[in-house]
Amino acid sequence: MENAIPKSIDRVNNIQLSRYLKIYNKFEKNFKKKPKIGICGITYKNNTSLTTKSPGEQLYNYFKKKNKIYIFETNELNNKKYIIEDNIDTFFKKSDIIFVCYKNKIFNKWKQFK
């Protein structure tokens, strides 16, 4: 029997990427230069190191040749291809457009930078 759960997860993740890109396109025109992208959460969720096809990784792959990217991640990563900003305050100050890819209380700190 075919397992529908992985296909459904991929479909939801692809919907998230489309949704994120609509948001980006809405705000990109407000910047004179290419906006710097902040990705809060390159992994799938809190307490995992898995990044393969995660919404954060899809954003990274989409923007990596077009924009400067900053990543803030609380999980330990096995993949060394990402440069992680370890200070959330610095991350928020450097990023022009920030995408929050999963729920984590520490990401709520963005409210201080509005």
Helices (H), the chain: 4-28, 55-63, 88-94
CATH architecture type of domain 4-113: 3-Layer(aba) Sandwich (3.40)
pLDDT value of residue 109: 67
pLDDT value of residue 1: 56
Q: What percent of the chain has pLDDT over 70?
A: 93
pLDDT in tens, 69-82: 999 998 888 767 78
Point out which residues pair with 72 in neighbouring strands. Answer: 40
pLDDT value of residue 12: 81
79-106: b (≥16 Cβ within 10 Å) or e: eeebebbeebeebbeebbbbbbbbebee
What type of residue sits at position 9? I
Question: Would you list the domain boundaries of the chain?
Answer: 4-113
pLDDT in tens, 12-61: 877 888 999 999 999 999 999 999 999 999 998 888 888 888 899 999 99
pTM above 0.75, yes or no: yes
pLDDT value of residue 111: 57
Point out which residues pair with 38 in neighbouring strands. Answer: 70, 98
Q: CB of 32 within 8 A of CB of 89?
A: no
User: Parallel, antiparallel, or unpaired: how do β-strands 97-100 and 69-72 relate?
Assistant: unpaired
